[in-house]
Amino acid sequence: MSKFKFAMYWAGSCGGCEIAVLEIKEKILEVDANFDVVFWPVAVDFKYKDVEGYDDGYIDVCLFNGCIRNSENEYMANLLRKKSKVLVAFGACATMGGIPGLINEATAQELKELVYTKNPSIDNPEGVFPQEKYEVPEGELDLPHLYDTVKTLGQCVDVDYFMPGCPPEAHQIAAVLDVVTAALKGEAALPPKGAVVGVAPKSCCDECKRVKEEKKIGGFRRIWEFFPDPEKCLLEQGVVCMGPATRAGCGARCTTVGMACRGCYGAPDGVIDQGAKMLSTLASIVDAPTPEEIAEIAATLPDPVGTFYRFGLASSLLRRAKV
Amino acid sequence: MKYLYFPGCSAEATGKAYDISTRAMMEKLGVELVELDDWNCCGATSYFSVRELDSFAIAARNLAIAQEMGDDEVCVICNACYTTLAKTNRYMAEDPRIFEAVNGALGAVGRSYDGKVKVRHIVDILVNDIGLEAVTERVSRRLTGLRVAPYYGCQFSRPMGSFDDVQLPTTMDRLFEAMGADVITDFDAKTDCCGGMMMLTREDAALRLCHELLTAARQYKADVLVAACPLCEMNLEGYQPRVNKTYGTDFNIPVMYFTQLAGLALGADPKQLAMEKQVVSCDPVLAAIPA
Amino acid sequence: MTAASEKESRVSDQFEPRLIGFLCRWCSYNGADLAGTSRMKYPPNLVPIKTNCSGRVDPTHIMKALAEGADGVLIAGCHPGDCHYINGNYRTAGRFPLMHKLLEQLGLEPGRVRLEWVSAAEGDKFARVVTEFTEEIRALGPLGWRTQTDVDPAKPGTAASDRVEEAVPA
Amino acid sequence: MAEEKIGVYICHCGTNIAGTVDVEEVTRWAAEQPNVAIAREYKYMCSDPGQDLIKQDIKENGITRAVVAACSPTMHEPTFRKAAGDGGLNPYLLQMANIREHCSWVTIDHDAATEKAKRILGAQIHRLPLNVPLQPIEVPVNPNVMVVGGGIAGIEAALKLAATGKKVYLVERDPSIGGHMAMFDKTFPTLDCAACILTPKMSAAGKEPNIEMLAYSEVTQVDGYVGNFKVKVKKKARFIDTDKCTGCALCTEACVVRKVPSEFDMGLSKRAAAYIPFPQAVPLRATIDPTRCLTLTGKKCKQPCVAACGPEAIDFEQKDEELELEVGAIIMATGFQLWDPTPETRYSYGKLDNVISSLEFERISNASGPTGGHIVCKNGEAPKSVAILHCVGSRDDNHQEFCSRVCCMYSLKFAHLIKEHLPETEVYECYIDMRTYGKGYEEFYKRLMNESVHFIRGRAAEVSAVALSPEEQGELVVKVEDTLLGITRRLPVDMVILSSGLAPRADAKATSQIFGFGCSSNGFFLERHPKLEPVSTVTDGIFIAGCCQYPKDIPDTVAQAGAAAAGALALVDNATVKVEPTISYIDPEKCSGCHICVGLCPHAAIQYNAEKDAAEVIEAACKGCGVCVAACGSGVPQQRGYLDEQIFAEIEGALVV
């Protein structure tokens, strides 16, 4: 029988997801055994027009990583949706906007100014900016239109499965690929549409081995400020750990090595806004004799948006800053 | 230190000595008084009971000028001015209709007032801004042994009582204690009315009130009554002969503006303080305190 | 009648803010009831939502309200010390400033989300707070979160500022 | 979510709602809302026919959810939920939309009110499909009752409850019960002697086997909930073994410290450090004042009291005791304190002799008082003239805005007592208005007018010692405007009685916080509803009686005490009580055991279950604040009746219009 068709695309993201796929090591051979790669720019040389040429639904599985940052991303999202049977939002950026989503605090213009003029390391006296259209002797060149608002894949097209993580953990990728392969072979059923895959139930704290007790903190600390107790829950030590508001599945790798959870696996089921929820959790455990003091301490946390929405701003209730 | 200064009408007539001694005293304290440009009567007349809104406008004009002169507070020396201007602020703040109406009126003369100029009684400034320590430091002639009856009058702290107790004001008590005087702190007539403008319309009533006050001062063995309002001072001092005539008494109690006595303690010369203008001689007072 | 509610009754063409108010059941909700039984007048812009304690109010609720088109959100609970649940409002006191800071980062005017302690006996205070709040938000103008992201945050969509025809790269 | 059939019931409440809100329009609008099957309006929904509409629609039209747009849920939610229950619907599938207190009564503009009514109703319509059937939680009730405060209110309530066979703990802060009433001489308007009517009740309370008297004790902490309160009581050390003490008072005679101002006599007499506050004290036991006793203050003392005490009851080693009591209901009867006239400086209280407070006069006129009932000035001579100044500190924006209700009457009583003792003495009553509203009160006023008392309508301006004429020499001069004659008068008198108002206890606020209910803006305890629940508080199971709620006379106090007792009895006489099921629950399958909620629960109702590695809610202890729900990062704890999705739905519904 002919192999199944596999595609992977890299939209607004760092590329970590692409590498993560290779993290599955020898399992990549199984992938090769079961799939023909029909589109995977980072690995194999295909052009967009090749994809445009495919019949709708030609691709069996497409792992789409990265957020929708510009018109090209959106175009490819729509195209791959059309051409794929199973479209997976792969990684934190595709599922919830990810780190690039933080630009939703500003606008595309502000970003350009920062990058091309305001940045201290930039020498750009003429204030040259990239143009979307540019005439050259050979004709007109154009660049994709940079959006003000980073969107998740799900905010643009209909997504079959969501697989969070920055990047998704290798063992989870392997597991998901197994399920999909089995399903395609008719040996197993696919998970319900819209499911979050490659994750574990409960929150990150469930996988975190640290000893947890009642939490009352008198202030916030960063791990470079002190030597955290290796056994004790980081939150109890005043370190802002997103664990309680983050879906399990990564195996609590960060907290295991003494780093606070950043929340890259997104919110657990039943939480519609990871940042707001974590804010509530963190502020709730601030303890002091009077409400005034509590308020004072709570307000000392720098950069709440960057802390609570490090990955989830684009998928949060408010989605972006006021423009 | 520098203050915008609203003398008030009396300061140009019967209360001239109050104005003079105020300036002298503040000079001794190193405080500059800048007189309000083209100020007008505060409106503290029966006009308030005739056409209230117009009276507010009249008072607000002064505050508007203060605002134009770029100051956020104005110093007044007369209890009536103090009450009237403060009252205007309060009513404008609490009733937008009055605020609009008053500004409408001011608009007609090309002015406007945002209601933000604070009205400060000079006693308030002395005790709360300059401070008793600073004042005491500059005292060169302590009022030792002088029995002073501070007379606040009815409008000093009432109805607002913004900087002192409504019922029992004590700021002047503390001021003169700081200057070494033997202050009659339980002088319970300190906020009784002197008769005010009644002296012109119902003299008998006003004289009765003055008689009560002077009797109290005598029973408390006061060497001197100090007042913080031109009208109080005039009634209590200027009308002593008539009180005596009416009630067969023999009062001859020195009554001074508190600024005169304070000025004295701060080393000003009686002439600078216009003490010769007093009807009842202040010599006993001068004699009573060591030079 | 307050000047504000008077205006509210006169002027009709002006911007009418849509406000949500989370009231704790024991103090503030009863305070609002008292304002009613005392027939105090205040603008009609705020719709109360009852929770047992202000400590039940989750920042998610505030975000939700703003995202759903509210121009301002009020949280009202018992005065510190009066909490029917001993210290539930202490949690509110902690969450509020942090949320405030976050919302400011997202460009929201601080005045749009407000915390007040209103006891069951403070009907007058409730009326005053709602009046002030309404006028402040009226002055700030519409928040219009919907129109700026042009999405029901639950459903996919495109930000208004981003509407472009599908660009096909060369 | 399943297709629900919602019935919407909009109440006119006469014109209370319909006068401002266009009920027809709201009904039309409601009928078009999602899931709404029926929308009805009715003049008085809470009436039987109104309730029947709901029942019928449930039975005949298959309504599966209902919302009543009417008054505040605190008013009629129980009524309508019961109606739903009777109709066969789970009561918690009915919501109320408060369009009266929160809408029609507070809004001027009719269109605006109508729109707001839609938003308030819309919130509930959106929420209803997400409502789930709930069952009230039934908890056992502890049959015992605690009464806090041993004045006439507390005594009356305790006796009533004890008579029904209930065990009552009567907690009193002072060494003896009796309160203010024990200090009075006569009581208006009947003039029967306070002691004669109070002491029998006091001793009855002392002898009653069902009453456990905890005198000289204070409540320090209250936990638990309706039917199951846990109360910590501090029994202050008397340094007397009350079992041995016979109340013979030999220790007080022996005590060498004799100059302690007597609280009971308002400081007008002195007591010893070892003392019995007054002869009729209950319990009749001595107390040693630790702040004054030489031994207890670490000074030298031969301890003659020990020698004098036959039964060897004195125990200087005695320590405060802490009791933990469990009761089903609590009655607050902590009373009032007299408003201290000192701040009213113009009356010179504390500055001039013979300017005295009303309570001081009560003691002076009392046969068992410091003067043996002889009304005399400080110099021991009978006053030839007395002025009684009404409304001291009362009806005054600078002090207490309210009227204390009893002062006019006790002032009249004073006038009568003075006239009775000293017929020749001139008595002046300076009043603003004469408020004699009670049974037999106006008649008493009339009687006084015939006892040649001078009534001067005018609030006294000042009391001064400044004499303007020979006859004023050495007298107190009361300045007052007689507003009926339109003249100001100066009254030279020998004695001035200041009829102070009744003030909330200085620690009323703190007390209300210990027990978990609020105070009114005037500082008295806040009743649940001013008309319909004047003896209940917002906290189920805690009742209030007497002057701790608001100034009132003895008849009203006794009546209220009875009402409070009945309220408490109606509760503790049942084996169980139903409490709201709006409490939290935790799904162990979702909980990661991070412990955050455990430490946050104000009532320690969440504990960590190690083997499930999950937190769990102790239902009986949870009071349903929902703090854990908001605090959990994983959204695991949820609160019945206040689920997140229900609140979200309300938000959406409130913003659709």
Check pLDDT > 60 for residue B104. yes
Give the pLDDT of residue D529: 86
Tokens for D412? 């009249």
Give the pLDDT of residue B235: 95
| pLDDT-based confidence at residue C147 (cuts at 50, 70, 90) | low
Give the pLDDT of residue D2: 57
Contact B11, B77 (CB under 8 A): yes
Kindly report whether the peptide bond that precedes residue B159 is cis, defined as omega within 30 degrees of 0: yes
> Coil, strand or helix: which one is D364?
helix
At B142-160, the pLDDT tens digits run: 999 999 999 999 889 888 7
Q: How far is D614 from chain A (nearest CA, A)?
A: 10
| pLDDT-based confidence at residue C82 (cuts at 50, 70, 90) | confident
Check pLDDT > 50 for residue C166. no
CA B108-B109-B111 angle, 5° bins: 100
Based on the domain organization, do D554 and D588 belong to the same domain? no
CB-CB neighbours of D363 under 10 Å: 24
Q: Please state, in angstroms and rounded to a whole number, the distance separating the CA atoms of residues A152 and C15.
A: 34
| pLDDT-based confidence at residue B167 (cuts at 50, 70, 90) | confident
Tokens for A1? 């029988």
Contact C54, C22 (CB under 8 A): yes
Give the pLDDT of residue D603: 85
Paired strand residues for D143 = none
Check pLDDT > 80 for residue C153. no
Tokens for D340? 């201290």
The CATH code of the domain that includes D392 is 3.50.50.60
End-to-end Cα, chain C, rounded Å: 67
* Fold designation for C3-7+15-147: Rossmann fold (3.40.50)
Contact D131, D95 (CB under 8 A): yes
| Chain D residue nearest residue C24, CA to CA | D625
Cβ within 8 Å, pair D466-B188: yes
CB-CB neighbours of B100 under 10 Å: 11
Check pLDDT > 80 for residue B267. yes
Based on the domain organization, do D609 and D554 belong to the same domain? no
Among the partner residues C91, C94, C149, nearest to A149 by beta-carbon distance: C149
Q: How far is D645 from chain A (nearest CA, A)?
A: 9
> Coil, strand or helix: which one is D347?
helix
Among the partner residues D345, D466, D467, nearest to B167 by beta-carbon distance: D345
Q: For all residues of chain C together, what is the average pLDDT?
A: 83
Among the partner residues B165, B186, B189, nearest to D351 by beta-carbon distance: B186
**D104, D173, D177, D340, D558 from D506: Cα distances, Å:** 38, 14, 19, 11, 23
Residue B44 region by backbone torsions, left for phi larger than 0, else alpha for psi between -120 and 50, else beta = beta
Give the pLDDT of residue C152: 37
Q: Please state, in angstroms and rounded to a whole number, the distance separating the CA atoms of residues D268 and D370.
A: 6
Q: Please state, in angstroms and rounded to a whole number, the distance separating the CA atoms of residues B150 and B156.
A: 12
Instruction: Tell me what the mean pLDDT of segment B39-56 comes to.
Output: 86
C22 interface with A at CB cutoff 8 Å: no
Q: Please state, in angstroms and rounded to a whole number, the distance separating the CA atoms of residues A282 and A298.
A: 8
Give the pLDDT of residue D530: 85
Instruction: Tell me what the mean pLDDT of segment D334-362 comes to.
Output: 96
Q: Please state, in angstroms and rounded to a whole number, the distance separating the CA atoms of residues B259 and B267.
A: 12
Predicted interface score ipTM higher than 0.85: no
How many interchain CB pairs under 8 A, A with D? 81
Check pLDDT > 60 for residue B59. yes
Percent of chain D predicted with pLDDT > 90: 92
Q: For domain B131-288, say whether CATH 3.40.50.300 is its number.
A: no
Among the partner residues D348, D398, D466, nearest to B219 by beta-carbon distance: D466
Give the pLDDT of residue C119: 93
**C3, D411, D644 from C135: Cα distances, Å:** 11, 50, 30
D130 interface with A at CB cutoff 8 Å: no
Alpha helices in D148-244 (DSSP H): 152-163, 194-207
Q: Give Cβ neighbours of residue B149 (< 8 Å, ≥ 6 apart).
A: B184, B187, B190, B217, B220, B222, B224, B225, B226
Check pLDDT > 80 for residue C154. no
Domain-wise residue ranges, chain A: 4-99+150-184, 106-147, 204-315
| pLDDT-based confidence at residue C148 (cuts at 50, 70, 90) | low
Total length of chain D = 657
CA A129-A152-D638 angle, 5° bins: 140
Contact C112, C71 (CB under 8 A): yes
Q: What is the DSSP letter of D104?
A: I
For residue B175, the surrounding DSSP H or E stretch is helix B171-178
Q: Please state, in angstroms and rounded to a whole number, the distance separating the CA atoms of residues B232 and B235.
A: 5
Looking at the structure of chain D, the number of domains it has is 4
Whether chains B and A touch (3+ CB pairs under 8 A) is answered by no
Q: How far is A226 from chain D (nearest CA, A)?
A: 23
Cβ within 8 Å, pair A318-C151: no
Residues of C in contact with B94 (CB under 8 A): none
Tokens for B236? 């209590």
Q: Please state, in angstroms and rounded to a whole number, the distance separating the CA atoms of residues B118 and B133.
A: 24
D193: buried, middle or exposed (CB in 10 Å: 19+, 13-18, 0-12)?
Answer: middle
In a domain, D443, yes or no: yes
- Kindly tell me the sign of the dihedral angle through the C-alpha atoms of B62, B68, B71, B72: positive
Q: For all residues of chain D together, what is the average pLDDT?
A: 95
Regions of chain A short of the pLDDT cut 50: none
Give the pLDDT of residue C149: 55
Based on the domain organization, do D327 and D184 belong to the same domain? yes
Based on the domain organization, do D345 and D486 belong to the same domain? yes
Q: Please state, in angstroms and rounded to a whole number, the distance separating the CA atoms of residues D428 and D456.
A: 7
> Coil, strand or helix: which one is B210?
helix
In a domain, D577, yes or no: no
Q: Please state, in angstroms and rounded to a whole number, the distance separating the CA atoms of residues A180 and A63.
A: 12
Pairing of strands D270-271, D260-261: antiparallel
Check pLDDT > 90 for residue B136. yes
Among the partner residues B168, B192, B211, nearest to D345 by beta-carbon distance: B168
> Coil, strand or helix: which one is D524?
coil
Check pLDDT > 60 for residue C156. no
At D429-468, the pLDDT tens digits run: 999 999 999 999 999 999 999 999 999 999 999 999 999 8
Give the pLDDT of residue C165: 33
Check pLDDT > 70 for residue C158. no
Best mutation target among D130, D592, D629 (most A Cβ atoms within 10 Å) is D592
Q: How far is D346 from chain B (nearest CA, A)?
A: 7
Based on the domain organization, do D36 and D170 belong to the same domain? no
Distance of CA D462 to the CA centre of its chain: 34
Tokens for D165? 């066979």
At D530-543, the pLDDT tens digits run: 888 999 998 899 99
Instruction: Tell me what the mean pLDDT of segment B85-111 comes to.
Output: 94
Residue C70 region by backbone torsions, left for phi larger than 0, else alpha for psi between -120 and 50, else beta = beta
Distance of CA D483 to the CA centre of its chain: 37
Percent of chain B predicted with pLDDT > 90: 81
Residue with tokens 């008295």: D524
| pLDDT-based confidence at residue B102 (cuts at 50, 70, 90) | very high
Tokens for A14? 């760092």
| Chain C residue nearest residue D127, CA to CA | C49
For residue D430, the surrounding DSSP H or E stretch is strand D426-431
Chains that touch B (3 or more CB pairs under 8 A): C, D
Decide which of D136, D160, D177 is a domain's last residue.
Answer: D136
Distance of CA B139 to the CA centre of its chain: 21
Instruction: Tell me what the mean pLDDT of segment D307-319 comes to.
Output: 95
Instruction: Tell me what the mean pLDDT of segment D492-519 comes to.
Output: 94
Cβ within 8 Å, pair A282-C98: yes
Check pLDDT > 50 for residue D292. yes
Contact A62, A9 (CB under 8 A): yes
Check pLDDT > 60 for residue B18. yes
Percent of chain D predicted with pLDDT > 70: 100
At D242-260, the pLDDT tens digits run: 999 999 999 999 999 999 9
Q: Please state, in angstroms and rounded to a whole number, the distance separating the CA atoms of residues A261 and A203.
A: 11
At D14-37, the pLDDT tens digits run: 999 999 999 999 999 999 999 999
Among the partner residues C42, C50, C69, nearest to D655 by beta-carbon distance: C69
Best mutation target among D106, D401, D639 (most C Cβ atoms within 10 Å) is D106
Residue with tokens 């997976």: A88
In a domain, D167, yes or no: yes
At D118-132, the pLDDT tens digits run: 999 999 999 999 999
Q: How far is C165 from chain D (nearest CA, A)?
A: 31
Based on the domain organization, do D509 and D497 belong to the same domain? no
At D593-634, the pLDDT tens digits run: 999 999 999 888 999 999 999 999 988 789 899 999 999 999
For residue B232, the surrounding DSSP H or E stretch is helix B230-233
Chains that touch A (3 or more CB pairs under 8 A): C, D
Distance of CA D452 to the CA centre of its chain: 39
Level-2 CATH architecture, domain A4-99+150-184: 3-Layer(aba) Sandwich (3.40)
Give the pLDDT of residue C8: 46
Residue with tokens 């938003």: D119
**B139, B270, D245, D435, D490 from B291: Cα distances, Å:** 12, 12, 71, 61, 43
User: Which class does domain B2-121 fall in?
Assistant: mainly alpha
Residues of C in contact with D109 (CB under 8 A): 8-9, 12, 44
Check pLDDT > 80 for residue B291. no
Domain-wise residue ranges, chain B: 2-121, 131-288
Q: Please state, in angstroms and rounded to a whole number, the distance separating the CA atoms of residues A249 and B244.
A: 101
Residues of C in contact with A291 (CB under 8 A): 80, 89-90, 93-94
Check pLDDT > 70 for residue C12. no
Q: How far is C101 from chain D (nearest CA, A)?
A: 18
Q: Please state, in angstroms and rounded to a whole number, the distance separating the CA atoms of residues D272 and D257.
A: 5
| Domain that residue D28 falls in | 6-136
| Chain B residue nearest residue C1, CA to CA | B95
Give the pLDDT of residue C107: 93
Q: Please state, in angstroms and rounded to a whole number, the distance separating the CA atoms of residues B110 and B65.
A: 11
Contact D215, D155 (CB under 8 A): no
Contact B74, B36 (CB under 8 A): yes
How would you label D545-574 residue by residue, b for 16+ Cβ within 10 Å and e otherwise?
A: bbbbbbbbbbebbbebbbbbbbbbbebbee
